[in-house]
Structure 1
Amino acid sequence: MRAAPTAALLVAFLTAAMLPSPGRADTSATPLADGFEGDDFAPGGGLFYKHNHEQSAGTVVFQSQVVRSGRQSLDLSVRPLCPPESELCSERAEIWEKPDVLVPYGRQTWYALSMQLAQPVSTERHRYVMMQWKREIDPGAMGDYSPLLALRLMEGRIAVTVDTDTGTFAPIGTSERPTGCKPGEAMASPPDEYNQFRTLVAIEPGVMGPEEAGFTGCTPDIRVTPRGALPAAGSGWVDYVFSVKPGPTGDGRIDVVANGKWIVTVEGKIGHEGPQLGEHMYFKFGPYRGGDGNVWRIYYDDFRRGPACTDVADAAICAKIAD
């Protein structure tokens, strides 16, 4: 008969579960920064451009014509690559965190990044993603896991979405939710065969379009506290700050700040815990879309990442979020 573990052993086991896999040092406590001031990514920034077929549609330019601060910023664009009839094809110019700097999944981490969309801003109903956070996926995993958090362009409006595969979906139109969600619930799209579904937690003010109307239900497992309005997509440089803590069992939390204004707090079952998932979270940014017929360009500047809010943001906004 096996003896019950002592409290000390249990604590040690739980602590070890949060550490990186063997052979990978835990660098998540080390702040990262890159202002894109050289002709390549900064050695201490932890970023790289991943070369694969999808990314071959992309172009990366360190340039000085459109800049948020310093001398340069990053110009990322995608050109048409996918056949129009291919729904599974995508075009990307994404910058990734290097594998050796990834954060253990479930650990709160702060990110800051400035972004400006090139004109004209598309108003199409299409798949446009500009920043995303995902959980590592083992090779050959069943299912296509979406970002746990993403900054998107939805019919010309900036939007923030959060995904989960552990929450409960409740359709609108029932006796409990005849015309909409209960206070604090997130609007949700119907789940797929793996119970993965997307919630819309913030969107730039405007008239609801067909894409937004696709969120036909709600979830009581993701709670949304609106605090301010997202800036307009075409308003120039926007300085974003994100606090990201996945928690598919219910202890997740995300805070979004834009141009110094606290936009939203999201809490609950955030992220995924399905089979064949890895132990780390990774962040990537840059234009990602399904096949399209035009060049799509975005400028980025002033990337920062750290374990504390003050590693990436002004102390005043950090104090407000901590209250």
Structure 2
Amino acid sequence: MIAVASPLASACAEVAAGNAFDLLHDGFDKGGFAAEGGLFYKENVEQRAGRMVFSPASPSAGTGALTLTVMAACPPHQLGCSERAEVWERPQVLAPYGSTVWYGLALRLDAPLPQDDRRYVIAQWKREILPGAVGDYSPFLALRLYRGHLGVTVETDRIASYPIGSPERPDGCRPGEALVLDRPKVRQTRALVAIEAGAARESYPGYFDACAPGIQVTRHADLPAARNGWIDFVIRSQPGPHGDGYIEIMANGDPIVTIRGHIGHSGPGLATNQYFKFGPYRAPGLQPWSVSYGGFRRGPRCSDVIRLGQCPAE
């Protein structure tokens, strides 16, 4: 096992500039990031307390594994502080914002699993923001942990939503409508689009309490349980803040959910690319939190990244 105690170490290999739609892959089995993977550990204040460990064998991915651990680093009571140990795509391989990009990534949530309802993010897709831009834009797609259970959220500019119990939605959401959290202060709408199999609704935050017809969700199955070991995800990323977004999520070869409609953000201060990053990210905590990853893949087609199951029909 090869331990990298600091992101300042020389684990990051140099990556040659390439086309945004080049096939990317990294098995995490070389003791550092592969040149053909286009990945790096970003060096900034929030990430300095993070830890990376490359190991040569992942039972699920069949190659290596990268374990990322976030440590307690925020001063007590400091507002706005976050703790991260995230791996990013390099700037020269980013894809245009509205394009279709397919990702494959295996992950395992290592014990102990956090059981509280804090901000725990495992992987996220975002739009680039220009330096000096005003606003706090959430990921348009994120894998999260809620009270020890996996969940997937989609975010967009604020759209019409109707509280459950209101005259418009007295008995709940209509078929296909997303269950959402209206966020007027940041002018965004967040949808909870997938949850774990067998998890009680009470396992997820009650603040998802409205319905948004502008985000259409087709559920095929629930997510595997977070405690069940390695999960191999295949995900289609295609943001469309004006209503033409399209996301597909598969787990261990099984279709989980299809999301169409308003996905992502537009407006001043936003750049032209989308980007992906993965690794534990949380509000300040006391205990270390680790997630292991394996078999990163990226390409313009599902067939470029799939290893289990069949690609969804276009």
Query: Please, what TM-score do these two structures have when normalized by structure 2?
Result: 0.91
Question: In structure 2, what is the Cα distance between the partners aligned to 1:298 and 1:263?
Answer: 21
Question: In structure 2, what is the Cα distance between the partners aligned to 1:197 and 1:315?
Answer: 32
Q: What's the CA shift for 1:26?
A: 7.0
Question: In structure 1, what is the Cα distance between the partners aligned to 2:67 and 2:217?
Answer: 33
Change (3 A) 1:202 1:249: same
Q: What's the CA shift for 1:212?
A: 2.2
- In structure 2, the residue matched to 1:225 is 218
Q: Give the conservation status (yes or no) of the 8 Å contact 1:242–1:256.
A: yes
Runs (5+) with no aligned partner, structure 2 = 1-16
Q: What's the CA shift for 1:191?
A: 2.0
- In structure 1, the residue matched to 2:262 is 269
Q: Give the conservation status (yes or no) of the 8 Å contact 1:136–1:277.
A: yes
- In structure 1, the residue matched to 2:67 is 75
Which structure has the bigger radius of gyration? 1
- In structure 2, the residue matched to 1:278 is 271
Q: Give the conservation status (yes or no) of the 8 Å contact 2:21–2:93.
A: no
Larger displacement relative to structure 2 (64-73 or 210-219): 64-73
Q: Which amino acid aligns with 1:190?
A: D
Answering whether residue 281 of structure 2 is matched by residue 310 of structure 1, we say no
SS at match of 1:209: helix
Answering whether residue 20 of structure 2 is matched by residue 28 of structure 1, we say yes
Answering whether residue 205 of structure 2 is matched by residue 212 of structure 1, we say yes
Question: In structure 2, what is the Cα distance between the partners aligned to 1:199 and 1:93?
Answer: 25
Q: How does 1:110-129 map to 2 (within 5 A)?
A: 110-129=102-121
- In structure 2, the residue matched to 1:11 is none
Change (3 A) 1:237 1:316: closer
Question: Deviations along 1:145-178, whole A, 9 cap, x unmatched?
Answer: 0000000001111000000005222222211201
Question: Deviations along 1:91-138, whole A, 9 cap, x unmatched?
Answer: 100000000000000101100000001112111111000000000001
SS at match of 1:193: helix
Question: In structure 2, what is the Cα distance between the partners aligned to 1:229 and 1:210?
Answer: 14
Q: Which amino acid aligns with 1:182?
A: R
Q: Give the conservation status (yes or no) of the 8 Å contact 2:136–2:186.
A: no
- In structure 1, the residue matched to 2:133 is 141
Name the count of aligned residue pairs: 297
Question: In structure 1, what is the Cα distance between the partners aligned to 2:308 and 2:135?
Answer: 41
Q: How does 1:96-115 map to 2 (within 5 A)?
A: 96-115=88-107
Question: In structure 2, what is the Cα distance between the partners aligned to 1:277 and 1:99?
Answer: 15
Q: Which amino acid aligns with 1:303?
A: F
Answering whether residue 37 of structure 2 is matched by residue 39 of structure 1, we say no
Structure having the higher helix fraction is 1
- In structure 1, the residue matched to 2:11 is none
Query: Please, what TM-score do these two structures have when normalized by structure 1?
Result: 0.88
Answering whether residue 106 of structure 2 is matched by residue 132 of structure 1, we say no
Change (3 A) 1:172 1:313: same
Q: What's the CA shift for 1:192?
A: 2.6
Q: Which amino acid aligns with 1:197?
A: T
Q: Give the conservation status (yes or no) of the 8 Å contact 2:64–2:295.
A: no
Change (3 A) 1:26 1:217: farther
Answering whether residue 239 of structure 2 is matched by residue 246 of structure 1, we say yes
Q: What's the CA shift for 1:84?
A: 3.6
Alignment identity in percent? Answer: 49
- In structure 1, the residue matched to 2:163 is 171
Q: Which amino acid aligns with 1:212?
A: P
Q: What's the CA shift for 1:78?
A: 0.7
Question: Deviations along 1:169-200, whole A, 9 cap, x unmatched?
Answer: 22222112013111111011122334212110
- In structure 1, the residue matched to 2:313 is 322
Question: In structure 1, what is the Cα distance between the partners aligned to 2:77 and 2:257?
Answer: 37
Q: 2:229 aligns with which of 232, 236, 243?
A: 236
Q: How does 1:193-212 map to 2 (within 5 A)?
A: 193-205=185-197, 206-209=199-202, 211-212=204-205
- In structure 2, the residue matched to 1:88 is 80
Runs (5+) with no aligned partner, structure 1 = 1-24
- In structure 1, the residue matched to 2:10 is none
Q: Give the conservation status (yes or no) of the 8 Å contact 1:165–1:274.
A: no
Q: Give the conservation status (yes or no) of the 8 Å contact 1:66–1:299.
A: no
SS at match of 2:208: coil
Q: What's the CA shift for 1:66?
A: 5.2
